[in-house]
Chains A and B, each alone.
Chain A
């Protein structure tokens, strides 16, 4: 009587075990030491599209894409031999293959079980399709946001351009108007024979100068309109400043101007587009020399650097008479200029570059003589 009793108990255990497996939300696959499928729960049936009856006794590799399936037996064999777990007790993301051949990502965790003389492995599988799709959607959204930001930054610059568009038209139209008038005059004067060669040559020089001026306006704009993202890297401000001297070497020697440096050692680094910051500094230095030349006052420009709280400060100071207080507040507006031939865009472009670096360009009156411009850039965070 004992025997049927055991058999009944055993069947009862078995049923309970099966019910347990089928109740699990995750797919569960039991295989023996050779990789043959012993149990395949309801969740697994739903996931792969196979029924348990179809799979029992078949190699588990039927659930894998061909390239993995081919290796699976050798993985098992190696594990039996070396007991070196690559996946067992660890879990990883793998690719499964459904009955219809479609493949999908799943998270697989594998445990080894030993019961009486039986050994085998239990694999718990969780469908990752949704999670992967979500991850891909997130990545796509992030890319989209990045693109949007880039185009926003671009349209920000375009906006700046838009604001200045009427002024720019004026700046380009002025030299073109002069060129057209000069040329028209020459034609008429030549026709009536009322112009001397010397005068003609003089007018041609003026035409060329105006054409160059129009070209400068366009060049100034190109810097602004460039879609290219500024490349901001950690830079040493003192090194940038020293390069200015090298860049201006020829101009300085030709003109007899002097550039003086007062650089604080061990400045913290800033995040900056080196080329743009140098453009700002070059512009400030050239402005200074031009202003001094025009006012026939002074011949040297001092560049100093210093660390302030969370910032690095660069000052460009000339030895001229300084900027009239009345003009100071309009210095950074487009098309404000005291120069006879300037287009008045320089400082407003410089200011927008400073702002793109979360910095600020300002006119400083510290009681010392000379015009002094200050560029402040935030210290790079580590």
Chain B
């Protein structure tokens, strides 16, 4: 994964330049783009951090970009910079899935606070996604029988019932159960249940 970076998209060079310096002053990496298209062309799924977007830009505007990002499954949190007092645009931005918005001109402290929150949010989300991915990979190592047994455990079936329904010996059921727990790295039945439920509901993107 790359260094968490604030991707600043604003058509005005002075804004990009000044924000880059501000971010540098607090040790946050940043990268500027003069338009949304430029960002989309350069974008790599590995990129971590957040997007700081001017809502009104020529060509592809901020809101359109947000929709485009949603379509492409880009999960970087987006903070919109909106014109001061333009509530409708801010509402629109939030509706389009923005994490936050700031009205220009903003206080630098305020901007940094929100950006740091966005970066932390992204880091958490990435962590969660990573965990889910790990879990999914572990679940995929289960054999069909082991998966069957694991699902029946989630459903609350006893070994005895499973043995009867699957036409297996209770001993064999216990063996599948032990293997499944081992493969999933579940230390208890409760944990196994939670894992199976987790893997059934991928993190929202």
Question: Quick one: which of B5-41 are within 8 Å of A by CB?
Answer: 12-15, 17-19, 21-22, 24-26
Q: List B contacts of A41 (CB < 8 A).
A: none
Q: Are A173 and B14 in contact (CB under 8 A)?
A: no
Q: In the assembled complex, how far is the CB of residue A121 from the closest CB belonging to chain B, in whole angstroms? A: 78
Q: Are B56 and A178 in contact (CB under 8 A)?
A: no
Tell yes or no: B109 within 8 A of A by CB: yes
Q: Choose among B56, B86, B107 the residue that contacts A180 (Cβ–Cβ < 8 A).
A: B107
Q: In the assembled complex, how far is the CB of residue B58 from the closest CB belonging to chain A, in whole angstroms? A: 8
How many angstroms from the CA of A164 to the CA of B126 in the assembled complex? 42
Q: List A contacts of B140 (CB < 8 A).
A: none
Q: Are B104 and A174 in contact (CB under 8 A)?
A: yes
Tell yes or no: A177 within 8 A of B by CB: yes
Q: Choose among B14, B21, B24, B84 the residue that contacts A175 (Cβ–Cβ < 8 A).
A: B14
Q: Are A178 and B83 in contact (CB under 8 A)?
A: no
Q: In the assembled complex, how far is the CB of residue B20 from the closest CB belonging to chain A, in whole angstroms? A: 9
Q: In the assembled complex, how far is the CB of residue A75 from the closest CB belonging to chain B, in whole angstroms? A: 74
- Kindly report which residue of chain A lies nearest to residue B111, judged by CB atoms: A181
Q: Choose among A169, A181, A184, A189 the residue that contacts B83 (Cβ–Cβ < 8 A).
A: A169
How many angstroms from the CA of A180 to the CA of B106 in the assembled complex? 8
How many angstroms from the CA of A184 to the CA of B108 in the assembled complex? 6
Q: Are A170 and B105 in contact (CB under 8 A)?
A: no
Q: Are B17 and A177 in contact (CB under 8 A)?
A: no
Tell yes or no: B144 within 8 A of A by CB: no
Tell yes or no: B85 within 8 A of A by CB: yes
How many angstroms from the CA of A187 to the CA of B26 in the assembled complex? 11
Question: Quick one: which of B66-106 are within 8 Å of A by CB?
Answer: 81, 83-86, 104-106
Q: Are A185 and B18 in contact (CB under 8 A)?
A: yes
Question: With A169-B85, A173-B84, A177-B15 in contact, is A185–B105 under 8 Å at CB?
Answer: no
Q: Are B106 and A189 in contact (CB under 8 A)?
A: no
Question: With A173-B84, A173-B105 in contact, is A178–B25 under 8 Å at CB?
Answer: no
Q: In the assembled complex, how far is the CB of residue A218 from the closest CB belonging to chain B, in whole angstroms? A: 15
Q: List B contacts of A192 (CB < 8 A).
A: 25
Q: List B contacts of A183 (CB < 8 A).
A: 108
Q: Are B22 and A181 in contact (CB under 8 A)?
A: yes
Q: Are A174 and B12 in contact (CB under 8 A)?
A: yes
Q: Are B14 and A185 in contact (CB under 8 A)?
A: no
Q: List A contacts of B17 (CB < 8 A).
A: 178, 206
How many angstroms from the CA of A192 to the CA of B108 in the assembled complex? 17
Question: Quick one: which of A162-216 are within 8 Å of B by CB?
Answer: 166, 169-170, 173-189, 192, 194, 203, 206, 209-210
Q: In the assembled complex, how far is the CB of residue B29 from the closest CB belonging to chain A, in whole angstroms? A: 14
How big is chain A's contact interface, by range? 20 to 34
Q: List A contacts of B83 (CB < 8 A).
A: 166, 169-170, 173
- Kindly report which residue of chain A lies nearest to residue B23, judged by CB atoms: A185
Tell yes or no: A382 within 8 A of B by CB: no
Q: Are A189 and B25 in contact (CB under 8 A)?
A: yes
Question: With A169-B84, A173-B83 in contact, is A180–B108 under 8 Å at CB?
Answer: yes
Q: Are B25 and A182 in contact (CB under 8 A)?
A: no
Q: Are B14 and A206 in contact (CB under 8 A)?
A: yes
Q: In the assembled complex, how far is the CB of residue A280 from the closest CB belonging to chain B, in whole angstroms? A: 25
Q: Are A184 and B104 in contact (CB under 8 A)?
A: no
Q: Are B18 and A181 in contact (CB under 8 A)?
A: yes
Tell yes or no: A340 within 8 A of B by CB: yes
Question: Quick one: which of B105-126 are within 8 Å of A by CB?
Answer: 105-109, 111
- Kindly report which residue of chain A lies nearest to residue B58, judged by CB atoms: A336
Q: Are A210 and B84 in contact (CB under 8 A)?
A: no
Q: In the assembled complex, how far is the CB of residue A186 from the closest CB belonging to chain B, in whole angstroms? A: 8
Q: In the assembled complex, how far is the CB of residue B119 from the closest CB belonging to chain A, in whole angstroms? A: 17
Q: Choose among B24, B85, B86, B105 the residue that contacts A177 (Cβ–Cβ < 8 A).
A: B105
- The interface centre, meaning the residue of B13, B83, B85, B109 with most chain A CB atoms within 10 A of its CB, is B83
Q: List A contacts of B13 (CB < 8 A).
A: 340
Q: In the assembled complex, how far is the CB of residue A184 from the closest CB belonging to chain B, in whole angstroms? A: 3
Question: With A169-B83, A169-B84, A188-B26 in contact, is A182–B15 under 8 Å at CB?
Answer: no
Q: List B contacts of A210 (CB < 8 A).
A: 14, 18
Q: Are B22 and A184 in contact (CB under 8 A)?
A: yes
How many angstroms from the CA of A72 to the CA of B24 in the assembled complex? 97
Q: List B contacts of A188 (CB < 8 A).
A: 22, 25-26
Q: Are A185 and B21 in contact (CB under 8 A)?
A: yes
How many angstroms from the CA of A203 to the CA of B105 in the assembled complex? 18
Q: List B contacts of A189 (CB < 8 A).
A: 21, 24-25
Q: List B contacts of A174 (CB < 8 A).
A: 12, 14-15, 104
Q: List A contacts of B15 (CB < 8 A).
A: 174, 177-178, 181
How many angstroms from the CA of A192 to the CA of B106 in the assembled complex? 23
**Could you pull out 10 A-B pairs where Cβ atoms are within 8 angstroms?**
A177-B106, A178-B17, A181-B18, A181-B111, A184-B22, A184-B25, A188-B25, A189-B21, A206-B17, A206-B18
Beyond A177-B105, A181-B19, A188-B22: 19 further Cβ-contacts under 8 Å? A166-B83, A169-B85, A170-B104, A173-B104, A175-B14, A177-B81, A178-B15, A178-B17, A180-B105, A180-B106, A180-B108, A185-B18, A185-B22, A186-B21, A188-B25, A188-B26, A206-B14, A210-B18, A340-B13
The 8 closest A-B pairs by CB, nearest first: A184-B108, A181-B18, A188-B25, A178-B14, A185-B21, A176-B105, A173-B104, A185-B22
Q: Which B residues are within 8 Å of any A CB, using their own CB?
A: 12-15, 17-19, 21-22, 24-26, 56, 81, 83-86, 104-109, 111
